[in-house]
Amino acid sequence: MELKTVEGVMESFLRQCGGYAVIDGGLATELERHGANLNDPLWSAKCLISSPHLIRSVHLDYLEAGANIIISSSYQATLQGFESKGLSRVEGENLLRKSVEIAREARDIYYDRAAKGSRDTFGDKDEIIPRKRPVLVAASVGSYGAYLADGSEYSGVYGKNVSLETLKDFHRRRVQVLADSGADLIAFETIPNKLEAKAYAELLEEEAINIPAWFSFNSKDGTNVVSGDPIAECALIAHSCEQVIGVGINCTPPRYIQGLILSIGRVTTKPILIYPNSGETYDADRKEWLPSNGVSDVDFVSYVGKWCEAGASLVGGCCRTTPNTIRAISKALSSRSNGSFP
């Protein structure tokens, strides 16, 4: 499945999916479950160097769980980060391309298995659905704060010395490489402030990027992105950018998502995507996820109906979610497409 033109492409893809699409879940969570040690500034991108087979395996787990969109392992893969590890610029660019190649390989393996007649079964029930589904590969671009690996992706505070031009220069070559990597779209993820969203929008235009993109922000209060910039103002930047085909929220506790969808929907007609985290809080100093001590989160998937009613059409998971989460989301969205959503 390739997105050839920008206008209406996501709407067309959603129609092929039955009206709703499933985004995959947490990559790092599953890599660690498979035995990867991600205690490194490169985080999951470390596996591009040390264990690419694990990345492929996780992508396949999510495809077999029902994902329509798999996101590459390039979130924290930056040329600057690779250079800090002693790699050359050329080696870094090749690793960026490799992140997309691995995802495309996983899709090919999934399609091959589907062609042989394999099918999905949900739990111990007799309900069986075909595994052959349209699948897109999204090339991930994490924020400047993700590169810093100091938790600033969860605060959006970069300091006075980081300007719009600083951010554009930082991201420019990575975006160029990923745009030509064979990905179907670019996923700008966990955007923590309005300044970085503006930098992405200007880059897409200046570099005449020829594949679509989505913008996904993060929030810790349900009203603003983590920097304090209003979500509506950030979403409006995405709405105004021709190359952007979807706008939404990721790595945010589920309890905030419904209100954020409504706020986004007031300023854009573009498809809304959401892939929250598990509701836990990331401790940047300890570099670990802590159980939330705020409003408790009920079962993740029980939110899906409300999110769709509020206006979301692409649903998945972020940090600390698993293939089991995605399998349940896929089942819920399939029921909704069939008119039987609870």
CA distance 11 to 304: 20
Give me 210's structure tokens. Answer: 């020829």
201 to 54, 146, 188, 294: CA distances (angstroms): 33, 19, 10, 34
- Is 17 annotated as belonging to a binding site? no
Q: Locate tokens 């595994």: which residue?
A: 131
The SS3 call for residue 234 is: helix
Q: Are 20 and 333 in contact (CB under 8 A)?
A: yes
Q: What's the rounded Cα separation, in Å, for the pair 283 and 296?
A: 18
User: Cα–Cα distances in Å, from 14 out to 132, 269, 272, 342?
Assistant: 15, 14, 11, 21
> C-alpha distances in angstroms, 88 versus 142, 144, 168, 253?
20, 20, 21, 38
Residue 37's Cβ-count burial label (10 Å; 0-12, 13-18, 19+) is exposed
CA angle 241, 263, 67 (to 5 degrees): 70
308 is in an annotated binding site: no
Task: Give, for 283, the enclosing helix (H) or strand (E).
Answer: strand 281-283
- The CA R_g of the chain, rounded to the nearest whole Å, is 18
The neighbour count for residue 87, using CB atoms within 10 Å, is 16
Which residues are within 8 A (CB) of 127 and not within 5 positions of it... i.e. 6 or more apart? 121
**Contact between 280 and 322 (Cβ < 8 Å):** no
The annotation places the binding site for Zn(2+) at 251, 318-319
